[in-house]
Amino acid sequence: METGEKERADEQVEPELQALRLGALQELVRRVWGYSELRPLQAEAMLAGLGGRDALVVLATGGGKSLCYQAPALLREGLTVVLSPLISLMQDQIAGLEESGVQAAMLTSAQGLSEKRDVFQRLRAGGLRLLFVSPERFVVPGFFEELSAFGLAALVVDEAHCISHWGHDFRPEYRRIGELRELLPNVPIQAFTATATPEVRADIVRQLGLREPDVLVGSFDRPNLTYRFLPRADEAEQVLSVIRRHPGEAGIVYCLRRSDVDSLAPKLAAAGIRCLPYHAGLSPSTRQSNQERFLSEDIEVIVATIAFGMGIDRPDVRFVVHASLPKGVEQFAQETGRAGRDGLPSECVMLYSGADFHGWRNLQERSHSDAAARGVEIDPLEAERSLARLSEMYAFATSATCRHKFLVQHFGGAWEQPTGCGACDVCLGELAPLPDSVRVAQMILSCVVRCQQRYGAGHVADVLRGASTEKIRTCGHDQLSTFGLLRDHDAREIRHWIEQLVGLEHLRVAPGQYPTLALTQTGVEVMRAQRPVTLFQLPVTPRTRKAAARRGRVELRPRAGAAAGVEPGAVIDSGEELVYDAALFDRLRALRRRLAKERGVPPYLIFGDRSLQEMAATKPSSLEELRTVRGVGEAKLRDLGEAFLAEISRG
């Protein structure tokens, strides 16, 4: 064969091979997981894995990342090792795989000798294709070479943002993974994460030593999530208002401090909410128990610090409330991403205050000072980046830009919708513009100047509303021309407008124990009527419709384009409404809880809400009909089919 003919033949073989691999993957996914279609970028990620290529895959939370490395592991020869940062995350993945008839195991530094011996016996016998390993265990000297003796074929790094200094969850052990590339250079590495800016993506590639990787970045939009940002006032009542919009549904409430958790959780419990606290100050056994009760649907709400969440795969979390400001947009995206992982409509509410911004900043400054006092070298650039991330989050909270658009663009995506998202407080019209924004802004900015830019937001608000306080009288600020200019408005309203001006960067907050307000250059321009400004009135918490939630039939319709944010097999992928029998759905959920308790696994590992809703909509009467429900693989059909058909047949 001539050289030219051979090259043309090779060019034909590659597409044919890819088509064969894709067909095998689709059949495997249908048979094992019960999904008849792959989501965007899943096929590309799987084919990269089967082709032995390095890859960085960035898919939004709930976007089906796990399937991207689990399916290829069952088709390729050899062992696939998955590095995962949390034991609970590994346990969940293994339990889910075993429910689908797939053998998997894990090795961590927390296991006993007998458990480890059992895993190594299974490895020597060749019965394992998937092994989950903690990064601490993985970097033990000699362990990587030991795995290679068992036919190591691919390395997967889950939650890969942990490797990056730029990321929001830096893990030193992760940074050592790149060192191992030199030991077995021919083992392909695939890295997966849900939230990574372009800078983080570049750092991951560099730290892992990925070679000409396929970089696959999906849409960061989560169209099934509705975002709302509210100034914090009566925290407990505001949180309760969200919970009451989701009766009987699961939710997470994030607090800044342990003391905030310990204060809020009893208030919610006293209001009849089945909730428990979670933070690092509780004993390990209490934390574990509370987490398991949440995952098993024994309680509805967990009130937690950010110590809770990374290993939580419960897909039916219907709301996430931030009772205080997170320390960055990446954290916000990661934590709100725990809502609606199954693609169904869910709500994310942020309660913010300027006090949160100052609290985080002071905490960061103290942390850096303490480290310096211990002789630990602090990267000044990292300190600047931390403050910049915090400032960006505060500006996001206090601004009135489309929340979905902001998040997509923050992570380097392009916002292509010509109109608003239809799923945030801004685009839903829940934020009303202040009719006289310019005049009010000028009053506030002028008052800051009259107070010599030496006082904080609370004092400035008191002067503007004409409060008769000892401090104001002592300072003589009751004689200022701005005293009482906004006497028809309460302090909460004025503070809300001040925070917006800070978020718009027309005011800056000086660092230190007593944060004071000062004008920026753009603030001076606004005060002089040289720059336009729009402020918004205090938002009113919406009363979302839940009237049909416990009646005979329910209709759930995420906003247009929701198919981009759901898992494989979602009923709404076709764009059609799912109308189902809610009473039957509740009975199927009860059956799911009972079976899960008997098996000692979380209920969502039996079937997800989507599968149960489709059962309640189509009411299959035979195993063949049940087989067509998304999420019903062959193992679950054999194991669980008759029990669910019997419940459906009860009418």
* CATH number reported for the structural domain that contains residue 516 in this entry: 1.10.10.10
CA distance 251 to 34: 27
What is the helix (H) or strand (E) element at residue 82, kind and residue range? strand 79-83
Q: Which residues of the chain have pLDDT under 50?
A: 1-12, 541-576
Q: How is residue 130 written in tokens?
A: 């998937």
What pLDDT score was predicted for residue 541? 47
Residue 118 backbone phi and psi in degrees, to 5: -65, -40
Q: Structurally, how many domains does the chain consist of?
A: 4
CA 474 to chain centre: 49
Question: Domain check: are 39 and 124 in the same one?
Answer: yes
Question: Domain check: are 364 and 447 in the same one?
Answer: no
Residue 46 backbone phi and psi in degrees, to 5: -65, -40
What pLDDT score was predicted for residue 387? 79
What stretches of 281-400 adopt beta strand conformation (E)? 301-304, 317-322, 346-352
Q: What is the CATH number of the domain that holds 567?
A: 1.10.150.80
Question: Domain check: are 238 and 359 in the same one?
Answer: yes
CA distance 467 to 490: 10
What is the helix (H) or strand (E) element at residue 107, kind and residue range? strand 104-107
Question: Domain check: are 610 and 520 in the same one?
Answer: no
What pLDDT score was predicted for residue 401? 83
Does residue 534 sit within a domain?
no
Question: Domain check: are 238 and 188 in the same one?
Answer: no
Question: Domain check: are 240 and 183 in the same one?
Answer: no
Q: How is residue 339 written in tokens?
A: 């809502």
What is the helix (H) or strand (E) element at residue 96, kind and residue range? helix 87-99
Does residue 637 sit in helix, strand or coil? Answer: helix
Does residue 433 sit in helix, strand or coil? Answer: strand
Residue for token pair 């104001």:
472
Does residue 3 sit within a domain?
no
Does residue 427 sit within a domain?
no
What pLDDT score was predicted for residue 547? 31
CA distance 207 to 533: 44
CA distance 187 to 218: 25
Does residue 533 sit within a domain?
no
Contact between 93 and 159 (Cβ < 8 Å): no
What pLDDT score was predicted for residue 311? 60
What pLDDT score was predicted for residue 581? 93
Q: How is residue 651 written in tokens?
A: 């009418």
| Residue 227, number of CB atoms within 10 A of its CB | 23
CA distance 523 to 502: 9
Question: Domain check: are 40 and 172 in the same one?
Answer: yes
- The alpha carbon dihedral of 88, 93, 97, 103 has a sign of negative
Where a domain ends, among 372, 392, 410? Answer: 410
Does residue 507 sit in helix, strand or coil? Answer: strand
CA distance 511 to 362: 8
pTM of the shown model? 0.79
Does residue 123 sit in helix, strand or coil? Answer: helix
Does residue 32 sit within a domain?
yes
Question: Domain check: are 202 and 231 in the same one?
Answer: no
Containing structural domain, residue 515: 437-527
Q: What is the CATH number of the domain that holds 83?
A: 3.40.50.300
Does residue 532 sit within a domain?
no
Where a domain ends, among 152, 183, 217? Answer: 217
Contact between 627 and 600 (Cβ < 8 Å): no
CA distance 465 to 457: 12
Contact between 20 and 12 (Cβ < 8 Å): no
Q: How is residue 567 written in tokens?
A: 């898992």
Question: Domain check: are 350 and 265 in the same one?
Answer: yes
Does residue 142 sit within a domain?
yes
What pLDDT score was predicted for residue 643? 96
Where a domain ends, among 182, 217, 252? Answer: 217
Question: Domain check: are 494 and 587 in the same one?
Answer: no
Question: Domain check: are 371 and 406 in the same one?
Answer: yes
Does residue 426 sit within a domain?
no
Contact between 262 and 605 (Cβ < 8 Å): no
CA distance 300 to 34: 28
What pLDDT score was predicted for residue 166? 63
Question: Domain check: are 251 and 161 in the same one?
Answer: no
CA distance 217 to 58: 5
